Structure 1
Amino acid sequence: MASMTAAPRRRFARLTAAAGLLVTVVALLLAPASPATAHAVLSSSSPAASSVVPNAPTEVVLTFTEPVRKVPDKIRVIAPDGSRADRGEPTFADSVVNIPVDTSAGNGTYLVTYRVISADSHPVSGAFTYSVGAPSEPPVDTGDDSRADPVVSNAIKAGKFVGYAGLLLLVGPALVLALLWPRRLPRTGPARLAWIGLGLVALATVTVTLLQVPYTNGGGPFDITGAGLSLVLGSTFGAAHLVRLGLLAAAAVLLRPLLAGTAGRTDLVILGVLGGAALLTWPLAGHPAASPAPAVSVVVDAVHLGSMAVWLGGLVMLAAFLLPRADERELGAILPIWSRWAALAVSALLLAGIVQALIEVATPTALVSTTYGRLVLAKVGLFALVIGVAAYSRQLVRKRVAASRPAPVRRAVWVELGVTAVVLAVTAVLVQTPPARTAGADVAGAQSGYFTTTVQSSLYSMQIEMSPAQRGNNSVHFYTYTLENQPLPVVEWKATVALPSAGIEAIDVPLLPLTDNHATGEINLPAAGEWELRVTARTTEIDQATVTATVPIR
């Protein structure tokens, strides 16, 4: 009678799993499409950061390196008196954000603060100033609470670590019980471990999704609102996590017969498909989906994650169950097979990690000059240590030491697991760190890519701007004002640059007047150093004055 009811139950389980897979596929198809982009940074603004403009602009324009999404009420323009100068909602068009501004707020220095979401789900925030007429004491945005709460950031890292740990605790027992487990040994312990792993993955997925709300808005760990949750779930990040939960639910139906030892071949195939689809949700919700080569990065990262789960999950099963419980004959059959699996998983892990690092780091310099690059180096060093221990274990297996004296192998396996636990922690931090390819990008207004100063003569004050203040082509802008900070018309402009320390004599800078008090020009600076910029402005037929500024060029 039991055998007659087992078949219908198995068919029902397969149909339920297939339905779950169908639902998740539909969710993927309906998920909001996002372009393949990188961790966005602000590339330019209008008005430019730290610039002085003669008239109040009607809008502030932010241009990012990649498309960005809106975070409600997190873009502000603060007037010199501390009031809000932005009017209405900013408009988003791919990488460009237009902020309407009230032109009646008066002269002085304005503060622009922003917080947006890049395609890889990470918030991007910053601030800069510009001045109308003449600079004044910069205002303070008293309503700006957009800075990331360190509790939230660390909690997300911890949640991702728990998710990785749960994945290996789920994959290891499922794989070993399906293909390597001796029939005489009880399956209770490994089955319990697999259910714990499934629960940890589900718990981590829900936790990270909820924490993404305050992470996006810049609030504390309990600042979770319906509107914020709707914003997260409507993104690719949220869709990927919902799909993962659906796949876990579908997999749980077929996991029970596998853990009990009654699963058929079709069950195992469906579980494999569900597992592969679930692995893709991790890269789809992070940096790989926003890399310069998203298709390659997503697949490579899924291979990297799957190889990690197979290798480390198998190690857990080896250390916790097989080595203590299996007899000499069983270990003699199991360990050579496991050794080959581990070698294949480690090879795939290493190859996938190299490809992903090349995409995300981009340049050798970024390996040592960015946090992301240094974390990659730390992970490589730890991984090399693990490989050494694994090679020692493999040597023991080849010598058949494990079958007769499993203690040396057991010790080596625990060392592997200890080091790889640190590797998982580094990985959890790594996925929350901006990739090196964007961390090193020049942000608009950064001191390394922009020079501005104000100099005075007996006739006028002059605002001088140069960008990017590096060797090669540079743009210069000159603005003249009276000593009372009113725009001062100029009849004739002349400018030269020289680098006396390198023996470079004065070079004329061709200038084009744009308004009565504003001129611009282009100049090629062939070397780094402290360049002397001399500007002569003639304001009447007889009145003129020359000002000098030292511009550091790198």
Structure 2
Amino acid sequence: MSRSDRTDRRRDTTGGTTRRWLLLVVPVSLLGALLAWLLAANDPVQPEAPARALADCAGAVVLGLAALPRLHDRLEPPWRILTIVAGCWIALEFAMLVFEATEVLALSVGELGAGQFGTYLTEVSGGQIGIAILIGSGAVAAYSAFGYRLPERATSDLVLVFAAVTLALRPITGHMSQQILGSVLAAVHALAAAAWFGLLLALALVVRTRGEWAVLLPRYSIWALPLLAAVTVTGIINGLVRIGGPADLVTTGYGRILIAKTLLLAILLVLGWWWRKRWVPIAGDHRMDAESSLRRAILEVVVMAVVFGLAATLAVTA
């Protein structure tokens, strides 16, 4: 093989160095939560917001990884990655429960005892929902570990179903559940956002070659448009329900966070439109190397992570 052939081959595949930038999702989602906390000003924000931002991201990645075979039937579920991310999801959901308990019981984390925590889990609706979420995420992690050991006997469809139900549990029991069709809108919003973010991050994790991007990116693009539309429409309805009037957009913490989230969604809409015109056709025609496609995917995922941080804080802002 000539030197030029080896160079072309290296350009046609992606290595782990660029992919490590996906780890930015963690600090960036926390940055989004911090930004929302600053925008909330004097309005109360519950202390579990950072943990919720990370938990929502982890759950979305699990959903995206499990949905990969639906994107293309030749894609095998990445069971090892699924198991690791699902394990992180459980830990983050448990951390959320601890913070929620301290908020409800008016205690610090150090003051929270096992008996008090148990009382919160069994007698308070938020704790009971948290237990259900832990069971769901635990089932996902256990089955993913089974799939890693015996991939020929496992199917990612079960992970997809359990992850979707688990992700929808908290939204459908939140403030929107008090409105007509509110639980449905909340579930659609949460699942559409998770699939939109999680699928692209999953592609960035597993896609290695120019040819794979050429096949998979156009398929993701077809999915992304209705998912983003669902996130936007349900988010607008949710915001209109919570906001009493136009003045609340600037006078309340909820309104200010909502504006920031809306602006970032608008940026993502423009970015998505631009990618659809410039990135997707070129990658689909095998005219873009895998490294360039990966960099674009990481950029969009990182911006999405900020939105997840804002959304997590918005959900726990009075």
TM range (shorter): 0.7 to 0.9
Which residue of the partner structure matches residue 365 of structure 1? 247
Among 182, 192, 197, the alignment partner of 1:312 is 197
Which residue of the partner structure matches residue 116 of structure 2? 227
Following TM superposition, by how much is the alpha carbon of 1:349 offset from its aligned partner in structure 2, in angstroms?
1.1
Following TM superposition, by how much is the alpha carbon of 1:395 offset from its aligned partner in structure 2, in angstroms?
1.6
Of Structure 1 and Structure 2, the greater strand share is in 1
Write the deviation string for residues 341-386 of structure 1: whole angstroms up to 9, x where unpaired. Answer: 1112111111111121111223222112211011000000011111
Which residue of the partner structure matches residue 378 of structure 1? 260
2:88 partner amino acid: L
Structure 2 counterpart SS, 1:405: coil
CA separation in 1, counterparts of 2:85 and 2:173? Answer: 20
Which residue of the partner structure matches residue 152 of structure 2? 262
Following TM superposition, by how much is the alpha carbon of 1:332 offset from its aligned partner in structure 2, in angstroms?
2.7
Following TM superposition, by how much is the alpha carbon of 1:257 offset from its aligned partner in structure 2, in angstroms?
6.2
Whether 2:84 is the aligned partner of 1:200: answer: no
Among 243, 249, 266, the alignment partner of 2:138 is 249
Q: Is the 8 A contact 1:211 1:221 kept in 2?
A: yes
Following TM superposition, by how much is the alpha carbon of 1:333 offset from its aligned partner in structure 2, in angstroms?
2.4
Q: Is the 8 A contact 1:383 1:423 kept in 2?
A: yes
Q: Is the 8 A contact 1:166 1:196 kept in 2?
A: no
Following TM superposition, by how much is the alpha carbon of 1:182 offset from its aligned partner in structure 2, in angstroms?
4.4
Q: CA RMSD in A?
A: 2.7
Whether 2:271 is the aligned partner of 1:389: answer: yes
Whether 2:288 is the aligned partner of 1:405: answer: yes
Among 88, 106, 115, the alignment partner of 1:218 is 106
Q: Is the 8 A contact 1:396 1:409 kept in 2?
A: no
Q: Is the 8 A contact 2:213 2:293 kept in 1?
A: no
Write the deviation string for residues 445-468 of structure 1: whole angstroms up to 9, x where unpaired. Answer: xxxxxxxxxxxxxxxxxxxxxxxx
Following TM superposition, by how much is the alpha carbon of 1:212 offset from its aligned partner in structure 2, in angstroms?
2.0
2:206 partner amino acid: F
Structure 2 counterpart SS, 1:433: coil
Q: Is the 8 A contact 2:67 2:156 kept in 1?
A: no
Matches of residues 118-137 of structure 1 in structure 2 within 5 Å? none
Among 331, 356, 359, the alignment partner of 2:213 is 331
Is there any run of 5+ residues in structure 2 with no aligned partner, and where? 1-43
Which residue of the partner structure matches residue 276 of structure 1? 164
Matches of residues 58-77 of structure 1 in structure 2 within 5 Å? none
Matches of residues 137-536 of structure 1 in structure 2 within 5 Å? 153-154=46-47, 156-177=48-69, 179-180=71-72, 182=74, 190-225=78-113, 226-227=115-116, 229-256=118-145, 262=152, 267=155, 270-289=158-177, 291=178, 293=179, 296-322=181-207, 325-328=208-211, 330-402=212-284, 403-406=286-289, 407-434=291-318
1:201 partner amino acid: W
2:237 partner amino acid: V
1:161 partner amino acid: A
Residues 261, 326 of structure 1: alpha-carbon distance in 2 compared, 3 angstrom cutoff: farther
CA separation in 2, counterparts of 1:195 and 1:347? Answer: 30
Residues 357, 192 of structure 1: alpha-carbon distance in 2 compared, 3 angstrom cutoff: same
Identity score, percent:
22
Following TM superposition, by how much is the alpha carbon of 1:227 offset from its aligned partner in structure 2, in angstroms?
3.3
CA separation in 2, counterparts of 1:377 and 1:243? Answer: 32
2:124 partner amino acid: S
Matches of residues 71-86 of structure 1 in structure 2 within 5 Å? none
Write the deviation string for residues 474-524 of structure 1: whole angstroms up to 9, x where unpaired. Answer: xxxxxxxxxxxxxxxxxxxxxxxxxxxxxxxxxxxxxxxxxxxxxxxxxxx
Residues 387, 263 of structure 1: alpha-carbon distance in 2 compared, 3 angstrom cutoff: farther
Structure 2 counterpart SS, 1:223: coil
Structure 2 counterpart SS, 1:400: helix
Write the deviation string for residues 223-257 of structure 1: whole angstroms up to 9, x where unpaired. Answer: 21313540353122111111112222333454356
Residues 334, 354 of structure 1: alpha-carbon distance in 2 compared, 3 angstrom cutoff: same
Is there any run of 5+ residues in structure 1 with no aligned partner, and where? 1-147, 435-554
CA separation in 2, counterparts of 1:395 and 1:263? Answer: 41
Write the deviation string for residues 47-105 of structure 1: whole angstroms up to 9, x where unpaired. Answer: xxxxxxxxxxxxxxxxxxxxxxxxxxxxxxxxxxxxxxxxxxxxxxxxxxxxxxxxxxx
CA separation in 2, counterparts of 1:280 and 1:164? Answer: 11
Write the deviation string for residues 94-130 of structure 1: whole angstroms up to 9, x where unpaired. Answer: xxxxxxxxxxxxxxxxxxxxxxxxxxxxxxxxxxxxx
CA separation in 2, counterparts of 1:214 and 1:206? Answer: 13
CA separation in 2, counterparts of 1:209 and 1:196? Answer: 20
CA separation in 1, counterparts of 2:218 and 2:146? Answer: 27
Following TM superposition, by how much is the alpha carbon of 1:314 offset from its aligned partner in structure 2, in angstroms?
1.4
2:72 partner amino acid: L
